[in-house]
Amino acid sequence: MSAIFLSYKREDELRVGRLVHALENAGLSVWWDRGLAVGENWRAEIQTALQSAKCVIVVWTQASVGPTGDFVRDEAGQAKRRGILVPILLDKVEPPLGFGEIQAIDLARWKGRARDPFFGDLVAAVNARLEGRPIPPAKGPMRRVMRRLTYGSVGSAIVSGVVAFGSNMAQVQDRTCRVPLFQPRISDACGAIGIGDRPGKIERIAWESRQLGSCAALRAHIERFPDGKYRTDASAMLAARRVTETESWVPASRRLALFVEPDNVAVRNEAGARTAALARAQAPAERLCKGFAATTLFRLRTTTPIAQTWSCRAVTLGVTCSFEGEAVCEVDERHVQEEERCGS
């Protein structure tokens, strides 16, 4: 098995084949599943190759980031957990959720040239993974900026400023990364190679597209980019979090157990005895409901005693009744909705 595993979507086989050919010409041996016989062991063969690899190149395209790219995302997830992932872009797409913090090498404009600086970044990254070294800073984005500045209408002063990236002149780097022309491309390129204190393209887009005023969006940004360039701003907005409360009263009903004892005074018939028992039940039912609603969470509106199980007996001069039932408390229940806001 090769030490380099290439994960891709079948729809991209033609473009991926050209990439594999260029990598092999650069002295790298790549395992990919082209020509692998479809049978009961093909998945096992892929898993074996993936587990034995020291470097996994994952190709992000319209197809692989879409709904049918589950296998590519699964293989990328395994490689990410092992720290051997090298992602590349063959289309202008955003990597799937969970992979945005790993800078992908942009080969969307690659024409197959071995001397292309972005292809050179890929070869350097793969060799670093194979040797267990950190991936070196990418050179392609900066060369693309230089080329645009050179062939554009920008004056020699800006070109000289870009050349000054080779030194540790932090102020010069910062000014150059913020130059108004060709933004946000220059800023994104600076972020890609870690200079000028600028965010990478993925973080910048995530920050600019977040829901303004949303504290949840700020927390999600910090979680996605824990060491990002906007972490300080996000943390400051969260620290200044404002909470407003909106109160509403919602009708509700509560039922409490109620027991009514027989009266010493008999009534002529059972119907009258039941009516008398319900009348006697009103006062204890109201005490139960008032006790239940004696908080700031409820406002009592009405109380109604309801008999469920009657017990009536004949006594001297008539009938007396008792019952087991419920005190039905009609209340307004207090609801408080909190709304938090962070930033403007």
DSSP string spanning 48-79?
Answer: HHHHH-SEEEEEE-TTTTSTT-HHHHHHHHHH
Q: 246: buried, middle or exposed (CB in 10 Å: 19+, 13-18, 0-12)?
A: exposed
State the pLDDT at residue 266: 87
pTM: 0.47
State the pLDDT at residue 151: 54
- According to DSSP, the residues that pair with 314 across neighbouring strands are 319
Residue by residue, DSSP assigns 175-211 as HHHT-STTTTHHHHHHHHHT-TT---HHHHHHHHTSP
What phi-psi label fits residue 230: left (phi over 0), alpha (psi between -120 and 50 degrees) or beta? alpha
Strand ranges inside 95-170, DSSP E: 105-106
Do the beta carbons of residue 323 and residue 307 sit within 8 Å? Answer: yes
State the pLDDT at residue 167: 46
Q: How far apart are CA 9 and CA 188, in angstroms?
A: 28
State the pLDDT at residue 91: 93
State the pLDDT at residue 158: 47
Q: For residue 202, what are its two tokens?
A: 């993925």
Q: How far apart are CA 56 and CA 126, in angstroms?
A: 8
Q: Among positive and negative, which fits the CA dihedral 97, 103, 109, 115?
A: negative
State the pLDDT at residue 238: 87
Q: How far apart are CA 223 and CA 237, in angstroms?
A: 15
In one-letter notation, the amino acid at residue 3 is A
Show pLDDT as tens, one digit a residue, over the chain (344 residues).
Answer: 679 999 999 899 989 999 999 999 999 999 998 766 555 577 888 889 999 999 999 999 999 999 989 999 999 999 999 999 999 999 999 998 888 888 899 999 999 898 999 999 999 999 999 999 998 988 888 777 776 665 554 444 444 444 444 444 566 667 778 778 778 888 888 888 878 788 889 998 999 999 998 998 999 999 898 888 888 898 889 888 888 889 999 999 999 999 999 988 889 899 999 999 999 999 999 999 999 998 888 999 999 999 999 999 998 889 999 999 999 999 999 998 888 899 87
Q: How far apart are CA 301 and CA 331, in angstroms?
A: 5
Do the beta carbons of residue 93 and residue 61 sit within 8 Å? Answer: yes
Q: How far apart are CA 252 and CA 61, in angstroms?
A: 54
Q: How far apart are CA 235 and CA 247, in angstroms?
A: 29
